[in-house]
């Protein structure tokens, strides 16, 4: 391993640590969370829902297959940094374009290694998700504490403005081909869905196309009145509310837009942040979990009593009182929290987990086909 510069970490519970830097340099403030996935470090790092956060990997060896542009879940990764036990400078994969360290530097993401990640995970399980600061330029504990104390907290920042597309575009790619090692254009798409981009993952777009939707991706500042008119004119047939970062309770403008879409009786499907915003729009505010659900091995029981192994990435959850207006379709078997809802009024349902992520099993992905079947063409 080449000689690495020191980097200094300070957490809001007073923990102060020195580690090594293998990514970009500078000072960044964010929220520390941990992820229990054994693989998929590039997909996790490039997930827009991690904007404003430092991701601690519980898997100790990270970087062994390098990185490539194809595996990115977004066009521009936005997490603050990643924290790993051992960062592998030497990688081995026929698909790799560059090492993880170079990838992080290219996207201005801090890389932190040579640190006991097991202890950090145990700390977060005890104290919950913590605000933290990491710096390659500031080494003094009190200076780091002062800067962290004066910075905005993640729950005060509207990160969807940062991660959402700036302009609308169409997406018609699906059906991965190992011959071309790319997703292929799909013909015969019979229904059009407007996907509101709060930080949408590319594989969600692929899954929507796979089941038959032509996808029109809209930025987070979309005009809901235009969207409602397009629905009435049959230019679109449904709306998808994507995943995204941050606290949904501060997104009051988005909640108002969704209320208008609900009043227009548009079929709506939401994932993760979209799931949470639908709950708030129905009058049921979300709450923050102690340390969230972040990993690719979370068992969820669906409405048929079957267990699905799911990928998850969220810090917030909908309340039990939502059962007054919706049927619970999925529950997390780790803590019994709500993972899926079908609302009693309208053609509206949502899930908290990520059915597009394919953590190994793919049984959760059938929810896309279910929604497509429920959306009328005329």
In contact, 275 and 307? CB cutoff 8 Å: no
Task: Say yes or no to pLDDT of 1 above 60.
Answer: no
Checking 360-365 for CB contacts under 8 A at 24+ apart, the result is: 360/296, 360/309, 361/308, 361/309, 363/306, 363/308, 363/309, 364/300, 364/308, 364/309, 364/310, 365/207
* DSSP-derived secondary structure for 162-177: HHS-SS-EEE-EEEEE
Does domain 5-156 fall under CATH 3.40.720.10? My reply is no
Work out the average pLDDT over 71-84: 92
Task: Say yes or no to pLDDT of 11 above 70.
Answer: yes
Task: Say yes or no to pLDDT of 361 above 90.
Answer: no
CATH 3.40.50.880 residue ranges for the chain: 160-374
CATH 3.50.30.20 residue ranges for the chain: 5-156
Q: Which of 87-91, 149-153, 182-186, 279-283 has the lowest mean pLDDT?
A: 182-186
Question: What does pLDDT average to over the chain?
Answer: 95
Kindly state the tokens that stand for 307.
């267990």
Topology of the domain comprising 160-374: Rossmann fold (3.40.50)
In contact, 332 and 351? CB cutoff 8 Å: no
Q: Could you tell me how far CA 363 lies from the centroid of its own chain?
A: 19
pLDDT level of residue 2 (50, 70, 90 thresholds): low
Work out the average pLDDT over 148-153: 97
Question: Which pLDDT value is given to residue 360?
Answer: 62
Question: Which pLDDT value is given to residue 248?
Answer: 98
Active site residues: 272, 354, 356
Considering only residues 183 and 69, tell me which one the structure prediction assigns the higher pLDDT: 69
pLDDT level of residue 365 (50, 70, 90 thresholds): confident
Q: How far apart are CA 209 and CA 212, in angstroms?
A: 5
Kindly state the tokens that stand for 129.
């998700």
Question: Which pLDDT value is given to residue 332?
Answer: 98
Q: 188's torsion region: left (phi>0), alpha (psi -120 to 50) or beta?
A: left
Question: Which pLDDT value is given to residue 284?
Answer: 98
- Which pLDDT tens digit goes with each residue over 159-169? 999 999 999 99
pLDDT level of residue 364 (50, 70, 90 thresholds): confident
pLDDT level of residue 178 (50, 70, 90 thresholds): low
Question: Which pLDDT value is given to residue 173?
Answer: 87
Task: Say yes or no to pLDDT of 106 above 90.
Answer: yes
Q: Which of 125-134, 285-294, 354-363, 368-377 has the lowest mean pLDDT?
A: 354-363
DSSP SS3 for 344: coil
Question: Which pLDDT value is given to residue 187?
Answer: 82
Helix (H) or strand (E) holding 244: none
Q: How far apart are CA 338 and CA 317, in angstroms?
A: 7
Pick from 109, 59, 125, 117: which is nearest to 83 by CA? 117
Considering only residues 45 and 70, tell me which one the structure prediction assigns the higher pLDDT: 45
- Which pLDDT tens digit goes with each residue over 199-223? 999 999 999 999 999 999 999 999 9
For the entire predicted model, the pTM comes to: 0.96
Q: What is the CA radius of gyration of the chain?
A: 21
Provide, rounded to the nearest whole percent, the portion of the chain with pLDDT above 90: 88
- Which pLDDT tens digit goes with each residue over 264-297? 999 999 999 999 999 999 999 999 999 999 999 8
Task: Say yes or no to pLDDT of 359 above 70.
Answer: no
């Amino acid at each position: 391993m080449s000689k690495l510069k020191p980097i200094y970490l300070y957490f809001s519970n007073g923990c102060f640590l020195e580690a090594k830097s293998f990514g970009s340099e500078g000072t960044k403030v964010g929220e520390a969370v941990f992820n229990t996935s054994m693989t998929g470090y590039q997909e996790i790092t490039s997930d827009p829902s991690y904007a404003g956060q430092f991701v601690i990997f519980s898997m100790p060896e990270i970087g062994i297959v390098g990185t490539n542009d194809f595996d990115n879940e977004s066009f521009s990764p936005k997490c603050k940094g990643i924290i790993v036990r051992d960062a592998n400078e030497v990688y081995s994969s026929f698909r790799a374009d560059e090492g993880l360290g170079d990838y992080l530097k290219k996207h201005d993401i801090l890389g932190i290694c040579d640190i006991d990640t097991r202890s950090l995970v145990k700390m977060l399980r005890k104290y919950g998700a913590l605000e933290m600061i990491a710096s390659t330029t500031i080494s003094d504990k009190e200076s780091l504490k002062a800067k962290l104390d004066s910075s905005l907290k993640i729950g005060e920042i509207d990160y969807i403005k940062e991660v959402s597309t700036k302009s609308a575009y169409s997406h018609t790619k699906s059906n991965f081909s190992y011959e071309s090692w790319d997703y292929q254009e799909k013909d015969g798409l019979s229904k059009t869905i407007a996907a509101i981009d709060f930080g949408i993952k590319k594989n969600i777009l692929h899954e929507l196309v796979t089941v038959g939707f032509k996808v029109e991706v809209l930025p987070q500042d979309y005009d809901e009145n235009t969207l409602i008119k397009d629905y009435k004119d049959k230019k679109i047939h449904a709306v998808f509310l994507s995943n995204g970062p941050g606290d949904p309770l501060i997104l009051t403008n988005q909640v108002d837009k969704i209320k208008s879409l609900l009043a227009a009786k548009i079929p709506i499907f939401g994932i993760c942040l979209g799931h949470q915003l639908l709950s708030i729009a129905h009058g049921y505010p979300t709450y923050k979990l102690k340390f969230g659900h972040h990993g690719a091995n979370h068992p969820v029981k669906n409405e048929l009593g079957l267990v699905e192994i799911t990928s998850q990435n969220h810090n917030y959850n909908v309340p039990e009182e939502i059962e007054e207006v919706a049927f619970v379709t999925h529950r997390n078997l780790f803590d019994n929290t709500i993972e899926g809802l079908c609302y009693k009024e309208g053609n509206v349902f949502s899930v908290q987990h990520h059915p597009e992520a394919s953590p190994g099993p793919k049984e959760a992905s059938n929810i896309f086909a279910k929604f497509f079947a429920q959306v009328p063409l005329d």
